[in-house]
Structure formats: C-alpha cells, structure tokens
Amino acid sequence: MFEVKKPEHINKTLRLPLELVRRLEKVAQDKNVSLNSLVIQCCEYALDNLDCANSSNEN
C-alpha cells in the first residue's frame, strides 16, 4: 500500500545579517527555489564539506 511520508521539521528563529539575507533572497529568486530550500541546501553543503580536522580542535 502507498504510504505518504512527511519529513520531520522543526521551526527555529535565526538572526542573520541583512546583507546575507539579501544575497540569499537574490539567489533563491534567480534559481526559482524557496528561500527555505536554499538555506537548507547551503547548510547541508557547508556541513558536508566542513574540514573535520579543524572542527574537532574547536570543541
């Protein structure tokens, strides 16, 4: 039987610099995606490409 799956989400409030938001909004508009989708993709990309050797020293 077909089962519709709903991804789990949580709402968070973040304070971002105005110029960063403007840049993100421009890219989202140019690429025809939502701002939310773009931010998720940017965060996932940054985390996937994080230099783990440096990040382990910061903890």
pTM of the model: 0.75
pLDDT of residue 56: 56
3-class state of residue 46 by DSSP: helix
Tokens at 6, concatenated: 């709903």
Residue-level pLDDT, tens digit, the chain, 59 residues: 898 888 899 999 999 999 999 999 999 999 999 999 999 999 999 999 998 766 555 55
Q: Where are the domains of the chain?
A: 18-50
pLDDT of residue 37: 96
Nearest to 43 by CA among 22, 24, 17, 30: 24
Tokens at 53, concatenated: 């050797």
Nearest to 24 by CA among 13, 38, 45, 11: 38
CA distance 21 to 33: 14
